[in-house]
Every structure is written in structure tokens, then in C-alpha cells.
Amino acid sequence: MQLAFLDTKLSKEVKRKTEKLMSSYKNLEAIIESKKLDASPKMVVNYQPSESQRGNQFHSETEQLAMNKMDIEEYTRTKRKLDLVYYSLKPTQQRIWDQKFLLGRYDVDVYSDLNIPDRTYYRLKREMIAVVAEAFGFI
């Protein structure tokens, strides 16, 4: 798909969701690894009552492990999609993503450091956000 046909005018909610997703890109690997650690079954002798004996519990440890594995799959899928989008962007857009969304810098600082005009910066940023929103079906 060509960027010329991509609608870069996004609603505030779509833009906010997309930017939040882009900002979480650096943390996804840590989240996936911590979920994997939580998903490993514990084989420890325990003299406490088991989940099935506690009464008013809604799910067992096995169900919790299954839900953790589904979360891991979802986070992994999101990370892979973001990887694909990130590496398909122009090098300038990748640097904008790094500085703006991963380092949390202000727009003015980013386009000053990259030595690009502010109009070009905002156009590239809009295109980049539109591509991510399209990839995740927010549009």
C-alpha cells in the first residue's frame, strides 16, 4: 500500500491509542519475558489448600497459566507487528520514533536535533502514526 492513499487525518482517540502503543514498544520485550516467568508451572510441595479446596475462587492455577500463555501470545503478536512497521519506515521516521516515543523527548527537541523543518517533521510523524494505526486496524 502506498502512503499517498493512506489517510493521515486521524481522530484524537485513534492517534492517542496509536501513540500509546508506540510508546510501549520498548517495554514489550520485558513484559513478554516476565509473563513467561509467571507462566512456568510451579512444582513445589505446598502444604496450603489447593485452589480447588479454597471455595469461592473463580479459576484454578491451570486456568491462570492458560490465560498467561494467551497474554504472552498477544504481546508477542503486537511486538512482531510493531517490529515489522518500525523496520519498514524511512530512516528519518525511525529516528523520530526512537526520540519521540522511546526516549520521550519533546517535538521541538526532536526536529531540532534531526535538523529538519518542523513542517517536514510533523508530516513524517503523521504518516508514521497512520501506518501504525492501519497495521493495528485502528482506522
Query: CA 71: distance to chain centroid?
Result: 13
pTM of structure:
0.77
Question: What is the per-residue pLDDT for 138?
Answer: 87
Residue of 59, 70, 85, 78 whose CA lies nearest to 6: 85
CB atoms inside a 10 Å sphere around CB 70: 11
Separate counts of helices (H) and strands (E) for the chain: 6, 0
DSSP per position, 48-76: SPPGGGSSS-S--HHHHHHHHHHHHHHHH
User: How confident is the model over 94-106, as a mean pLDDT?
Assistant: 93
Residue linked to cell 512497521: 85
pLDDT band at 129 (very low <50, low <70, confident <90, very high): very high
Grid cell listed for 102: 522511546
**Running DSSP on this structure, what letter comes out for residue 57?**
-
Question: What is the per-residue pLDDT for 2?
Answer: 47
Determine whether 125 is exposed, middle or buried from the number of CB atoms within 10 Å of its CB (0-12, 13-18, 19+): buried
pLDDT band at 85 (very low <50, low <70, confident <90, very high): very high
